[in-house]
Amino acid sequence: MSYAGRVPEDRVVVVERNLDRALDEAPPPRRRLEPDDLLRPGTTLSTAEAVAVFRDQVTSRTLDVAARELKAKGAGYYTISSAGHENNAVVGALLRPTDPAFLHYRSGGFMMARSRQVPGVDAVTDTLLSLLAAAGDPISHGRHKVWGSRQLWVPPQTSTIASHIPKAMGAAFAIQRAARVGMSLEIPDDSIVCCSFGDASANHATALAGINAARYSHRRGSRVPVLFVCEDNGIGISVDTPRRWIARNFRHLPHLEYVHAAGELDEVWDAAVAAVAACRNGRRPVFLHLQTVRLWGHAGSDVESGYRSAAEIAATEAQDPLVRNAQRLIALGAASPDDLRDLVAGVRDHVHSQATKLIGSPTLASRQAVMATLAPYDEPASRRDADAVPSHDERRSVHGSALPEDATVAVRRTMAAHINAALHDEMLRRPEMLLFGEDVGRKGGVYNVTSGLQRVFGAARVFDTLLDETTILGVAQGAALLGFLPVPEIQYLAYLHNALDQLRGEAASLGFFSAGQFSNPMVVRVAGLAYQKGFGGHFHNDNSVGALRDIPGLLLSVPSRGDDAAKMLRGVLAVARTTGRVAVFLEPIALYHEKDLHEPGDGGWLSDYPPPGQILLPGDIGVHHPDHGDVLIVTYGNGVRMALRAARRLRGDHGVAARVVDLRWLNPLPLDAVGRAAAGTSAVLVADECRATGGGIADAVVAGLVERGYDGRLGSVRSADSYVPLGPAAGTVLLSEADVVKGAVRILGRGDDTPD
């Protein structure tokens, strides 16, 4: 295949010719500067650096043209360009390649400028491979066209605008946190974090959340060196941003330094120098308002003439930064028109020949190859990780004189107490672990699950956040990227949903889109599910795991008993640490303080603390009454206690011997283990406390058993597809013990004569 496609959009050709014409028509400079000379008095931009930045900009532009040509040839898959935004190369040139950068899709100039600072990085080839969705694309292996590089500290970003701003803030926050807790980072202590985005994106709730969180943290005395770069081209796809909207919105915000960058290359440089210095030296959030234009449509497929007049398009093209910068370099004597003509021709030739060579590069060709870095798992490594147990003396320093498993002093415990003790043990042996969320620090959590942890481990490692779930998960991602093992808490499952994109779109996808080169391991503790007595209503009793189960690669676990909870929490932390996985640990609120199983006072739901080192890993299911074989009840969470109570009634009232499986792991479901547990039973009943349609797991378990050749009877009982009402009415929509008994009797064909 040859590389000779026609550019489909005339304006691309027009813009290319404008630059050529400007160079042809420019008068020769009246004087020539030496490479080390400053471009003019008062600027810090040297001649050599100005020409280097111009080269970065031309390279970025030429790659954008190539993207459209490759698309026209049917070889390329992405055409959103950086054309008109190339002055962002100045920011790339001013930052260090170790300053983590979370980039806007139009930050091509930045990427070129950063790449040239690191020997061995070939930004042209890397970008072309990404445009071609080639398996050789070094950052995503062809999974997405992204700006990203492990060597350059540019984590790949998703296409969801603004979604990277909270994690950029989180990474900046983590730089100082590392110093406070004595953790050494891969990047220098005085690093700053860069985060670029568009002007329309600056209105997004997620953007405002991230910027607000940075300002809030600064107000609270934390150092959050994040450089927000708003690349303001005045439009978002087809909708214009009101004039001066960005400046008026961000110029006078407390705890945010605002710097405006516009005009000539050297003026943009000087403004950016001031912004970077304020951020790096002041260790504070800075908002760099970078004036840009958008040349061409939003993407190759966008017909700009549908919403912009010809005059507007031409006026925008007249502000092409490449033309202006070329004219400026020539006028100030940094280069001659011939120099720049040669530079442009050289870059075009290089990009063209590389593209020609790379067309036809292989793409990912199998499902296995595509999914290779989605859900890494290494069981032996997780077991080894969990094995390293601190000494008794060390543990006494956090637990007090008696260890929680010490039979002579310890009472049997509730799930809340077990999780609390396990968190103490894990915080002790993992200095990189951070615990945070709403009310988790001083108060110790709404349900006292994190009680005492701040006192023992200090406010640098156990802290209250501002009230924003998006920020909580953003901080977790940023901190994890830098090497922490964050354990953020979401106070109630219903409140995870307003921040869900941070898990679904962002955290869980990082390993996929970076081919495993970046990871943000974390264990998100979420209090959830229904059946709380005396504290009702949907928002504290949300019973759906649907939104979590469909997240590729996310590990979802739900304990049903205290001892299991301790072992499972250790297990998911070990998996997160050893593989970079993102895990949700969903804690059934109604079981936090439950003590009894069958009768009030029987203490049947209390348990002894399993000593550290004992863990449960994905796939380890719990089997109760393994010798009972009439029916297998498959369940999890609150359903386990319910099913064990139902099993007793089934035995007593119907002579049915029920085996009960506690799934423990809801994503991925341990279907092979369930299949083995079902062997020898004549019926399987799935008892699912979550909403019937899509909210739970019943359909997936039934399908999984059928696919594994289970030939007994199959059925399920589930909660209704309803929000949970307040008070006793909750019982009308939630799965009950009586439902489980009836379901089992029905599936066994014993009639429906169960006394309720």
Stretch that binds ligand TPP, among 120-128, 231-239, 257-265, 643-651 (CB under 6 A): 231-239
Distance CA 671, CA 477 (A): 30
Burial 338-365 (b: 16+ CB within 10 A, else e): ebbbebbeebbeebbebbeebbebebbe
- If the CB atoms of residues 146 and 678 are measured against ligand TPP, the closer one turns out to be 146
Rounded alpha-carbon distances, angstroms, from residue 34 to 39, 348, 476: 9, 26, 48
The tokens for 215 are 């300002």
Q: How far is the CB of 582 from ligand TPP (least distance, A)?
A: 20
- If the CB atoms of residues 45 and 161 are measured against ligand TPP, the closer one turns out to be 161
Distance CA 615, CA 571 (A): 5
Q: Three-state DSSP class for 585?
A: strand
Our answer to whether residue 654 is catalytic in this structure is no
Out of 161, 293, 555, 584, the residue judged to bind ligand TPP by CB under 6 A: 161
- If the CB atoms of residues 161 and 480 are measured against ligand TPP, the closer one turns out to be 161
> Which amino acid, 706?
V
Q: Using the rule CB under 6 A, is 49 a contact of ligand TPP?
A: no
Distance CA 592, CA 419 (A): 9
Distance CA 201, CA 232 (A): 10
Stretch that binds ligand TPP, among 159-167, 522-530, 556-564, 610-618 (CB under 6 A): 159-167
Q: Cβ-closest residue to ligand TPP? A: 198
Place of tokens 């006028």: 331
- If the CB atoms of residues 81 and 578 are measured against ligand TPP, the closer one turns out to be 81
Burial of 222 (0-12, 13-18, 19+ CB in 10 A): middle
Query: Interface residues for ligand TPP in 178-217 (CB under 6 A)?
Result: 198-201
Q: How far is the CB of 300 from ligand TPP (least distance, A)?
A: 13
Distance CA 267, CA 270 (A): 5
- If the CB atoms of residues 298 and 396 are measured against ligand TPP, the closer one turns out to be 298
> Total number of residues binding ligand TPP (CB under 6 A)?
15
Place of tokens 């969470």: 637
Out of 235, 332, 485, 508, the residue judged to bind ligand TPP by CB under 6 A: 235
The tokens for 586 are 């969903």
Q: How far is the CB of 604 from ligand TPP (least distance, A)?
A: 48
Q: How far is the CB of 126 from ligand TPP (least distance, A)?
A: 21
Q: Using the rule CB under 6 A, is 237 a contact of ligand TPP?
A: yes
CB 223 within 8 A of CB 176: yes
Out of 18, 98, 151, 160, the residue judged to bind ligand TPP by CB under 6 A: 160
Query: Interface residues for ligand TPP in 90-129 (CB under 6 A)?
Result: 106
CB 14 within 8 A of CB 317: yes
Main-chain phi, psi angles of 219, to 5 degrees = -60, -35
Q: How far is the CB of 202 from ligand TPP (least distance, A)?
A: 7
Q: Using the rule CB under 6 A, is 577 a contact of ligand TPP?
A: no
Q: How far is the CB of 417 from ligand TPP (least distance, A)?
A: 41
The tokens for 251 are 């110029």
Main-chain phi, psi angles of 474, to 5 degrees = -65, -45
Q: How many CB atoms lie within 10 A of CB 395?
A: 21
Q: Using the rule CB under 6 A, is 233 a contact of ligand TPP?
A: yes
Q: Using the rule CB under 6 A, is 689 a contact of ligand TPP?
A: no
Q: What is the length of the chain? A: 756
Q: How many CB atoms lie within 10 A of CB 467?
A: 11
**One character per residue 286-305, x = contact with ligand TPP (rule: CB under 6 A):** --------x---x-------
Place of tokens 């601190």: 390
Stretch that binds ligand TPP, among 46-54, 235-243, 363-371, 398-406 (CB under 6 A): 235-243
The tokens for 661 are 């499986």
Stretch that binds ligand TPP, among 227-235, 354-362, 637-645, 682-690 (CB under 6 A): 227-235
Q: Using the rule CB under 6 A, is 236 a contact of ligand TPP?
A: yes
Q: How far is the CB of 241 from ligand TPP (least distance, A)?
A: 7
Q: How far is the CB of 288 from ligand TPP (least distance, A)?
A: 15
Distance CA 671, CA 648 (A): 26
- If the CB atoms of residues 234 and 743 are measured against ligand TPP, the closer one turns out to be 234
End-to-end CA distance of the chain: give it in Å, rounded: 74
Catalytic hit among 540, 625, 628, 654: 540
Active site residues: 540
| Residues engaged in binding ligand TPP (CB under 6 A) | 106, 159-161, 198-201, 231, 233, 235-237, 294, 298
